[in-house]
Chain A
Amino acid sequence: MDTIFWILSIITIIGAVMAITLRNLIHCVLSLILFFLGIAGHYFLLRADFLGAVQVLIYIGAVAVLMLFAIMLTRHVTGDEGPREVLGGKWWAGMGTAVIIAGLLWAIIRKDQIAQALPAGVAKTSVAEIGKALVGDWVVPFEAMAVLLTAALIGAVVIALEEVIRKR
């Protein structure tokens, strides 16, 4: 279990680092996909198999493919020209973010509320329970999300329609 965790973590970190340092945008997205895969592997390792499958389905199948599509429609994909600055002069901003995230994580892990709420042993999350929670306790946020997404969809259609009308 531990070795698998380390292998997955290394793959995830390599993917993340490559995603921000590579020069070719397509390569960046492909490394980002590697990172998503690593995260999905972590979910599977934690026995959250529903979350893992959804991670692959949504992030790799939809988000990353959409990014690839968007990049393909732009020019200058390779980006070989010009200087590259990942952090630039603002290295302190990155450091600050890292410190804040590390502190937050440390505080959360130390409090350990999530671990205390769960029974000991292997966590058991079933799709049925997630579904019941979504349409039971969390039905209002769930429906709000649905409305928000529908609004976004209609907005996209409206923007596209305006373009069509202007062309005529």
Chain B
Amino acid sequence: MFLSYLLGWLPRIGKPIAAFLSNPPEWVLVALAIAIPIGFVMAVFPGIFAYTTLVERKALGRIQNRIGPNRVGRWGILQPIADGVKLLTKEDIVPRRADKFVHFLAPVIAVIPSVLLFSVVPVGMGLVPVDLNIGILFAFAVSTASVLALFMGGWASRNKFSLLGAMRAVAQVVSYEVPMVLAAVAVVMVVGSLSTVRIAQAQSGGILNITNWFVFRPWGLVGFVLFTIGAMAESARTPFDIPEAESEIIAGYHTEYSGFKFALFQLGEYLASIAMAGITVTMFLGGYNGPGSGPGFLGGLISMFWFFAKLAFMIVITIWIRGTWPRVRVDQLMGFAWKVLLPMSIVNIVAVGFWHYLTIRPIAWLLTTSWLVAWFIVLSKLAATEKFAPRTYRYAS
């Protein structure tokens, strides 16, 4: 009303503008439809990344009996900005014998797959950048591409530690990819669709929109644990951070990176970890479903709140694990992936088969739970190669 009144003052240009606004040409709509989701992803998730680093440093500080950053702004709230300025103004060092072009390309490639991952994560009811009907598969395809960046960075640096880190990264990502995909297969089998939106929809309903989350099913709980472990290994988060183990190989594949290229590596790694947390939330923790979420404006807002609350929960859990768990050894890492996670994920797929064909719910619960528990016990007994006995002291007893 007011707008048209105001525009009436300028009839010359007002009329075309009003006509434009009320009936925009198609290319404007297409451009807006492309720009809004991209703008949202590029504005929100790097912002979450910036403050994840702050929360992580604070939380790790508290876990290690320190205070953490508190100099820049109150509670260190401007620390990410200071970090960004510092990294931007640092000297960009390229080793003389490095493969210059690949060395330059690696950090760029590190970011692209991580950002692409967000394109299939539904952040609220009806709020998804692209509803691909192969959503989950797309996410896996894109996330495997990130290993290329790690490899390129490690190889192009012409540094033994970098190369070791790159080899570790490749072996780790390739191994943990398999149980992760198989854990997702369980969800896909139940929902009957690869679309992330359909998966989130399938978890609505129940008591308070909570009881239908897949994590509250026996196979869902197992899948959730498998997927979370796989996602943490894929993004090289701490119990699985042997590709960049500081105490062994300096910083692994990004030893020879400084300044903004180093920041890009960090950005890619954290964004991938956040995106994987988002996909975990969508697949197992009910996605955007929660008390009060539903269609309409208010329901949509509440659904967004639930999604981001669960995302924050997952991020905090990974930080907590990072602060409290030791790093695994290389042989333990490989053995864990191939001897425990992989059989367990296959067993989980069989459990989903039981669940699907046993229509009487109590029997299905009983059978799938006992099947999974039995296999878990068997596999953990088989995988335990070291006997744990009370520590014996030779001299100080």
Chain B interface category by residue count: 20 to 34
B194-A127 in contact (CB<8A): yes
B151-A68 in contact (CB<8A): yes
B167-A49 in contact (CB<8A): no
* Known contacts A53-B141, A57-B137, A62-B174; is-contact A72 B148 (Cβ 8 Å): no
B148-A127 in contact (CB<8A): no
In the complex, residue of chain A having the shortest beta-carbon distance to the beta carbon of B195:
A127
Bound-state CA distance A27–B101 (Å) is 10
B155-A127 in contact (CB<8A): no
Bound-state CA distance A49–B166 (Å) is 30
Bound-state CA distance A65–B169 (Å) is 11
A52-83, CB under 8 A of B: which get 1 and which 0? 01101100111011001100100000000000
B141-A56 in contact (CB<8A): yes
B141-A57 in contact (CB<8A): yes
* Known contacts A30-B102, A72-B163; is-contact A53 B155 (Cβ 8 Å): no
B86-105, CB under 8 A of A: which get 1 and which 0? 00000000000001001000
B141 interface neighbour in A24, A61, A72, Cβ under 8 Å: A61
A-B contact count (CB 8 A): 64
Bound-state CA distance A128–B134 (Å) is 10
Bound-state CA distance A53–B152 (Å) is 22
A50-B137 in contact (CB<8A): yes
B137-A53 in contact (CB<8A): yes
B152-A30 in contact (CB<8A): yes
By a CB distance below 8 angstroms, the chain B residues around A11 are none
Whether A28 is near chain B, meaning CB under 8 Å from some CB there, is no
Which residues of chain B (189-247) have a CB below 8 Å from chain A? Answer: 192, 194
With a 10 A CB-CB cut-off, give which of A24, A65, A72, A127 has the most chain B CB atoms. A65
Which residues of chain B (129-149) have a CB below 8 Å from chain A? Answer: 132-134, 137-138, 140-142, 144-145, 147-148
B137 interface neighbour in A24, A27, A54, A60, Cβ under 8 Å: A54
A61-B163 in contact (CB<8A): no
Whether B256 is near chain A, meaning CB under 8 Å from some CB there, is no
Q: List 7 A-B contacts (CB under 8 A).
A: A30-B102, A49-B134, A53-B137, A53-B141, A54-B137, A60-B141, A72-B167
B residues within 8 Å of A by Cβ? Answer: 99, 102, 132-134, 137-138, 140-142, 144-145, 147-148, 151-152, 155, 163, 166-167, 170-171, 174, 177, 192, 194
